[in-house]
Amino acid sequence: MSAEVGTVYIGNKPAINYVMATILQINQGINRIVLKARGRAISRAVDVAEIARQKYLPGRLEVRDIRIGTEEILAENGTRRDVSVIEIELEYKPEQ
């Protein structure tokens, strides 16, 4: 098993794009993937995790950990804003 951890940054593209990026990393031998999202992309990260778990790898992909928090970002006008963040760690269990 690979000790390497892959990362998929979730943005504004359709969820299926990020599902495919997750599956691609698993096919490359990476067994742990972290989905990272901020702000409005958080719900898309949850969608990606659930689509990958239930539709593409049922019984073989499970949520290992979920971390939430807040990051302070600097807006274009110079003001600071707090933005929610989430990291969903998935673990792939190959068939025995």
Q: Is a pLDDT exceeding 90 seen at residue 64?
A: yes
Domain 5-92 has CATH 3.30.110.20: yes
pLDDT tens, residue by residue, 34-47: 999 999 999 999 99
Per-residue pLDDT at 96: 64
Instruction: Record the pTM.
Output: 0.91
For the beta carbon of residue 48, count every other beta carbon within 10 angstroms.
27
CB 19 within 8 A of CB 35: no
Q: Is a pLDDT exceeding 90 seen at residue 75?
A: no
For the beta carbon of residue 50, count every other beta carbon within 10 angstroms.
14
